[in-house]
Structure formats: C-alpha cells, structure tokens
Amino acid sequence: MNNPLYVYNSISRDKDHFVPKEEGYVGMYVCGPTVYSDVHLGNCRTFVSFDIIYRYLLFLGYKVRYVRNITDVGHLTGDSEDGEDKIVVKAKQERLEPMEVVQKYMNGFHDMMDVFNVKRPSIEPRATGHILEQIEMVQDIIKNGYGYESNGSVYFDTVKFNEDKGSYGKLSGRVMDELLEETRVLKNQSEKRNASDFAIWMKAAPEHLMKWESPWSVGFPGWHLECSAMSTKYLGSNFDIHGGGNDLKFPHHENEIAQNEGACGCAPARYWLHTNMLLMNGRKMSKSEDNSITPEQLFTGSSKHVSKGYSPMVIRFFMLMAHYRSTMDITDDALQAAEKGYYKLMDAYYSLQELNTNNTDEGSLDQEVNALIDQAHADMNDDFNTPKALSRFFELTSMVNKLKGGQLKISDLGSATLDRLKKAFQSFIFDIFGLKDEAHHDDDHNHLDGAMRLIIDLRADARANKNWAVADKIRDTLSELEITLKDGKDGTDWSIH
C-alpha cells in the first residue's frame, strides 16, 4: 500500500487519511436496498459507486469485510413514522406474502447487480433475521437512559442524548433547536417526549402483518435500528467505513450514530462516505416522485428520455465519468459520450496487447507513460477520483493508438514500461473500474454468427441437392458441439444449449 489513501469523511467534512483500525483489514458497511420495488438507476449508481470503492480497497491489498444489508421490514412510506411499512403496502397491493415481496425484489436487485458487474458483499444480512439483536440494542439504549417506552413503543430521547453528548446532528449538520421547532404533526407525536425523538421499536396494530414479541409489545423495529444492530454484529462496535447515499444522512445515519453511541458509548464508524444523487431533468431520481428510469428501459431504449438503448457496461462507464460525491444528470448526450468512451478504451486495451518492443533499455516515451499511470493511482488515492483516473487512461489510449498507427515509434517505449502499461490497463479497466468486455464479446458473437450462417446455407444447398449425407453430417457435428439448428418458416436459426 504505497501511496496514502484519502477519503472524504462526512463527519469531519474533510479529506482524511484513511488508516484502518486493524492493519491490512477493512470493515465496511453500506445501507442496502429496501426491497419493495424494482431498483431504479439512482439506486444502481450508489451501489456501483461503493463497488468501485470496495474494488479499490481490494486492489490496494486490504482484506475487506463488506456488509451490505437488505431492508425487509420497518422502512415506512414517506420515510416517516406515521407511514405504513413499504413492504406490507406492496404485499397488500400484489396479494402476496410480505416475504414473497421481499424475495421477488431481492432477486431482481441481485440480478441487476450482476448485470452491472457489482461484486457481491461478504455478508448480506436481513433485518428480519436480526430481530433479537435489535431488541437487545433497544434494551441497552433504555438501560443507558436514552430510550423510553410509551404505549408499547420505544423512542430514542434525542434531547437527553444531545444534553449528555452534545452531538445529535453532528453528521448532518442539523441543529437541535430547529429540529424541535419543526412542527410536523405525526400520528404518534403525543407518545414522544420531544418532537425530534424517533421510534426504535414500534407497537403493531393487531392486523399488522410483520410483527414480533418483545418486552414492550408485539411490534417491529424502527428502520434505523437494523443498520446499527447488524453493523455492530458483523463489524464490531467501532469499524472503518459506513456508506450510503447522501439522502440517508438525515435522519437515517444521524440516528444510527445516536443509537450506537446510546447503546455502547461508541461511534460506529470512523469514516462516513456518502454518494451523491443521480438526477433526471435536474431532480433527484426517485420512485416516489415518478422521476425514475429503470435499467431495463435504458438497455432497451424504451424511455422518452433516451434516443436508443445503452448496454450495462456503457452505463457503468457513464457512472465512472462523474465523481461519486458530485450529482450526475442522466442525459442522452452524456450516454452517447460514454458509449464512445467505453468502446475507445476497450479497443485500446486490445491494441495494446498486440504491441511488443525490443527495447530493453529506457525509451523516450517511458517517462510520460509512467507519469500518467502514477497519476491515475494518485487520482484513485484522492477520494476515488474515477473521472480524473479515466482522463489519464484516455491520454494513454491516444498514445496506444499512435503507437499502433506508427505516429509514435514503439522502439521509443522500453519493455518494462510497456509491461507496466499492459498491467495498468488490465487492473484499472477490469479490477478497479469493474468493466466487462461487452464490445469484443459481441464481436466474437458476430464472427460466430457469420460462420453459422455459412454452415446453414451449405446445409440448405446440400438438402436442395438431396445430399442427405452432408446435411446430416452438419447437423450431427453441430449437435456434438451443443449447437442446435431449428428450422422455421423464416429459415433456419441456431442456438447454443
């Protein structure tokens, strides 16, 4: 781990030198999806951003335990306490079991993460599988004087916590007095000591679908509690990185910090990383505001916002083109630029493989090439600056193209530098940026399809000439290769099974 890594820490509001608690190991928790609907592209941006962070930590040689939860209970509509459980609402609408809703959208989420080549986390805990841990945490919070029961529900006493620790609002910058003045009338406001208090356990109505026994009532945990309990369980009470979209800073993450400090007196995470929002038409992409586009709509081009379809890797490339802390507006022009950029980078990777040099000394191009590679590493060490790192690779790409085209002489590149350049392309494109080679995979398919068309024509000719031996031989040999021919009214098609 040569260069120091700096990460922007939302708690210190500064770029901090990243030093894990235990040398060589990183514990990272990222708030996962609430699985009540299909993921939209904004959600995907956040998970792709953390995927790049995860991949870069792995690239640096850390052993990373990456925990990303699944929220399958307690997240209420409107993100407020007077809402209804989002999963229960969906279960009623679709006449499904709540766990059927969870399974359905969790499967869809996993499929979509695979499509975007997002690495799977080390642990993916579910809130409903950790009710006991959450009840224990509520008990600890009550024992320490920061929680109180009221009519079967349990609330976190934000005022008492702030008096003792002086820190409620330290992550989000919200001010206690202003929070108290916020006059939103919530259903259970009368049960609370202070308007800013939040539920950590909620009593369920008799007809409520997902509920558990607890010392206070038959009920369910508050949304914020699950992340506090599950991060503590798998990463310890003080771990390295906690992440999520910046829309979760308040109240979700602020309340997580309060709960962890209230339960054990320790701040959960040392570095808080927040991704910025994907916008559409200048507004946050959001399902509830009907301002969202699904990944499928982008793949197929079936949305009024795009002129054509874009492949998953083009979209992943598009996401790399902005820093994770900047907002990003999805536009057709930006996607077209991403498409060009993605193919250009991939082509350069293949051109590079074919370059060889006999120069075993230093060449006149070495310094420039090495400097660009060093800069790309420095960009990643500077709070994972993917757009800058990409720009270095575009400079390298144009050098590769000139070397290939003869405008630059390959003998001006030393063999050690050429090797380093090949390795850098390999590790940045595939390991760090997490791109897959759709472009050349498609080329392979096109070649194979061309060859198959020829074979199908030859077989048709053989049959027309009643040359059954040749026709059968073609079919049987293809069958041994697990290629099936299907004769239809529009001709013959082929598939690999």
> In the complex, what is the shortest distance from the CB of residue 50 to ligand AMP, in angstroms, rounded to a whole number?
9
In the bound state with ligand AMP, the residue whose beta carbon lies nearer, of 245 and 295, is 245
Stretch of 25-33, 103-111, 147-155, 193-201 lying at the interface with Zn ion (CB under 5 A): 25-33
Question: Strands 147-150, 219-221: parallel, antiparallel or unpaired by DSSP?
Answer: unpaired
Q: Is 31 in the site for Zn ion (CB under 5 A)?
A: yes
Pick one of ligand AMP, Zn ion, none as the site partner of residue 118 (Cβ within 5 to 8 A by kind): none
The residue among 85 and 366 lying less far from ligand AMP, judged by its C-beta, is: 85
Position 118 contacts Zn ion (CB under 5 A)? no
For residues 258 and 161, is the Cβ–Cβ distance under 8 A? yes
Burial of 475 (0-12, 13-18, 19+ CB in 10 A): middle
- Residue 298's binding partner among Zn ion, ligand AMP, none (Cβ under 5 to 8 angstroms by kind) is none
Q: Which is nearer to ligand AMP, 45 or 126 (CB)?
A: 45
**Binder of residue 46, out of ligand AMP, Zn ion, none (CB less than 5 to 8 A by kind):** ligand AMP
Binding region for Zn ion (CB under 5 A) out of 9-17, 221-229, 285-293, 372-380: 221-229
Residue facing ligand AMP at closest CB distance? 245
Q: Which residues bind ligand AMP (CB under 6 A)?
A: 31, 33-34, 42-43, 45-46, 244-245, 247-248, 277-278, 284-286
Q: Which does 227 bind (CB under 5 to 8 A by kind): ligand AMP, Zn ion, none?
A: Zn ion
| Residues facing residue 222 across a β-bridge | none
Q: Which stretch binds Zn ion (CB under 5 A): 225-233, 326-334, 342-350, 432-440?
A: 225-233
Cα–Cα distance measured from residue 460 to residue 465, given in angstroms and rounded to the nearest whole number? 9
What is the rounded CA–CA span in Å between residue 424 and residue 374? 10
Query: Considering beta carbons, is residue 27 or 33 the nearer one to ligand AMP?
Result: 33
DSSP 417-469: HHHHHHHHHHIIIIIIS----HHHHHHHHHHHHHHHHHHHHHHHHHHHTT-HH
- Closest to ligand AMP by CB, 32 vs 219, is 32
From the list ligand AMP, Zn ion, none, partner contacted by residue 242 (C-beta under 5 to 8 A by kind): none
Identify any residues that bridge with 202 across adjacent strands, giving them in sequence order: 220
CB-wise, 319 or 365, nearer to ligand AMP? 319
Stretch that binds Zn ion, among 220-228, 307-315, 365-373, 376-384 (CB under 5 A): 220-228
Residue 79 vs 368, nearer CB to ligand AMP: 79
- Residue whose C-alpha is closest to residue 267's, from 232, 224, 233: 232
Torsion of CA 122, 127, 130, 134, to 10 degrees: 120
Residue 426's contacts (CB-CB under 8 Å, 6 or more residues apart) are 349
Residue 247 touches which member of Zn ion, ligand AMP, none, C-beta under 5-8 Å by kind:
ligand AMP
By C-alpha distance, which of 170, 144, 158, 141 is closest to 232?
141
Q: Are 434 and 47 in contact (CB under 8 A)?
A: no
Residues in the chain: 497
- Does 227 help bind Zn ion (rule: CB under 5 A)? yes
| Angle formed by the axes of helices 332-353 and 312-320, nearest 10° | 100
**Shortest distance, CB of residue 296 to ligand AMP, whole angstroms?**
17
Q: Pick between residue 222 and residue 244 the one whose CB is nearest to ligand AMP.
A: 244
Selection from ligand AMP, Zn ion, none that 315 binds (CB < 5 to 8 A by kind) is none
In the chain, what is the greatest distance between 2 CA atoms, to the nearest angstrom? 94
